[in-house]
Amino acid sequence: MSLAPKAKLQQVMMSVAQKAAFELVAVDGPASGFLDSTAVAEALAGAIEGITTLDRGRLLLFGGWESASRCSGTTLALVADRLGIVDFFLGVDRLTVSGEGTFEVLERIEGGRHQVSRCEGPPAAIGWATGSRPEPPNSPQVGMANMRTIVPALQRARAFTASPGAGAAPPAASAAPPGTLAFSRVAVPAQRRETRVAKDMAPAEIARELVDWIRE
């Protein structure tokens, strides 16, 4: 499942298609840091609900830890909430499945530590961190088989044209009412680099200079 401009998504799929067999469900829309994660989640969840063969009781929803919505990490959580998934894990480094169908999740938590959770089974939502997952080798045969379904999926992709803030939750559950989110100004951060080469300085003196520079 992916929401992105069709042209860009087709380029990405040319590489991804050779890794493993899958079925693509695409939503044609912008991919930038100025989309409301609530509206994006509504579009993704709606597309997932449109999969007629989907067994909601066996659903495992995977996504990136940092969403495209300004790395807020909220999109996947909102999709899971819309689909009624209660077991949600963010910043996952490892997922271990047992022979009985249960699984163990190694999840990052605050303080630079990890938390281990054990689940009896799906449904669950997993937001991947970096982890140590191996990357499958390229297979031209798998790629050709996938492209037979990817191209029609891109052609059938629904258009997502929601403006920032559109599709948001009701005001009681959202910080901004629907349709009120707007960006008044956007600018690239100014580059600032002040470098000074100094030798034989004591660590305490270096720290003091850094603190003084930050205070300025």
For 96-110, write each residue's pLDDT tens digit: 988 888 999 999 888
Q: Which residues contact 139 (CB under 8 A, 6 or more apart)?
A: 18, 19
- Alpha-carbon span 146 to 139, nearest angstrom: 11
Count CB neighbours of 143 within 10 A.
Answer: 18
- Say which range, 23-37, 90-104, 157-171, has the weakest mean pLDDT: 157-171
Do 87 and 123 touch, CB atoms closer than 8 A?
A: yes
Confidence of residue 165 (pLDDT cuts 50, 70, 90): very low
- Alpha-carbon span 2 to 19, nearest angstrom: 17
Per domain, the residue ranges of the chain are 2-173
Which CATH number fits the domain 2-173, given the four candidates 3.90.1150.10, 3.40.50.620, 2.40.50.140, 3.40.1080.10?
3.40.50.620
Q: Which residues contact 213 (CB under 8 A, 6 or more apart)?
A: 194
